[in-house]
Amino acid sequence: MAKVLILSGAGISAESGISTFRDSDGLWEKHRVEDVCSAGCLDTNGDATRAFYDARREDIEFKEPNYAHKVIVELKHTYPNDIAVLTQNVDDLFEKAGMQRDEIVHLHGFLRELRCRACEEVFEIGYKKQNECFNAQCPECGGELRPNIVFFGEAAPLYASLTQALNECELIVIIGTSGNVLDVTYFAQLTDKSILNNLEPSDAIDDSYFTKVYYSKATEAIGDIAEYIEEFLA
């Protein structure tokens, strides 16, 4: 049973040079969710949708994890059973910092993977373009491949892990999410203690429900947050 749940969003990767979604200059200012990240996009706008995720994959190839990713990986390795790490991010910066794939849950999918729309098999492709892999067909069944990303309007099967982690934890740590997709204010009300770290307040989060609030860069707040977690688990 993990007593601590660390749940991150795009803000934790911002200092590594990966764009967030809703900050000024964020991804959703340059692209329309309806065009490239909604249920049905693959059928109505397939080429542009695949190109969008090819570009995201290419973008992360040389991005490096920052201090916040590294501290969280270290904490997870020190307290493997006491800490659950879940992220909304589809990048691989936690993995680049040393996290094993089974030590973290990517709630919204993982850029380096494709999934077969027919048989649901998942394939790791690194940073390659989708159509450069497997002759653009599922190597298992010949079905159509797609980015292994959860689009708006689609089911997110790994939310079951989030529900379980929320039921088990006593301390929730939220880092770098605007709360527009996951209702982190509600999550804070479910747990004994809660920490929020964002660059700035978000209209979608009521920070009065949090035990501790840090409006600062993740790399600046993470030292204090790690100390709090270690004391909590002592």
Active-site residues, by number, are 108
Joined tokens for residue 193: 């203690």
Other residues' Cβ atoms within 10 Å of the Cβ of residue 64 = 11
Q: Which of 3, 109 has the CB closer to ligand APR?
A: 109
Q: How far is the CB of 92 from ligand APR (least distance, A)?
A: 14
Q: How far is the CB of 99 from ligand APR (least distance, A)?
A: 17
Give the x/- contact pattern for ligand APR in 165-204, rule: CB under 6 A: -----------xxx-xx---------------xxxx-x--
Give the x/- contact pattern for ligand APR in 75-114, rule: CB under 6 A: -------------x-------------------x------
As a whole number of angstroms, the distance between CA 127 and CA 105 comes to 20
Q: Is 60 in the site for ligand APR (CB under 6 A)?
A: no
Joined tokens for residue 81: 């059973």
Residue from 4, 5, 14, 213 binding ligand APR (CB under 6 A): 14
The answer to whether the CB of 180 falls within 8 A of the CB of 11 is no
Joined tokens for residue 225: 């947050």
Angle at CA of residue 23, ends 182 and 169, nearest 5°: 30
Q: Is 20 in the site for ligand APR (CB under 6 A)?
A: yes
Q: How far is the CB of 11 from ligand APR (least distance, A)?
A: 2
Q: Is 22 in the site for ligand APR (CB under 6 A)?
A: yes
Report which DSSP code applies to 157: T
Residue 229 CA, distance from chain mean position: 20
As a whole number of angstroms, the distance between CA 29 and CA 19 comes to 11
Count residues binding ligand APR (CB under 6 A).
24
The answer to whether the CB of 47 falls within 8 A of the CB of 65 is no
Q: Is 156 in the site for ligand APR (CB under 6 A)?
A: no
Q: How far is the CB of 22 from ligand APR (least distance, A)?
A: 4
Alpha helices by DSSP H, listed for the chain, are 11-14, 27-30, 33-36, 41-44, 46-60, 67-78, 93-96, 159-168, 184-190, 218-233
Q: Which of 67, 79 has the CB closer to ligand APR?
A: 67
Binding stretches for ligand APR (CB under 6 A): 9-11, 14-15, 20-23, 26, 88, 108, 176-178, 180-181, 197-200, 202, 217-218
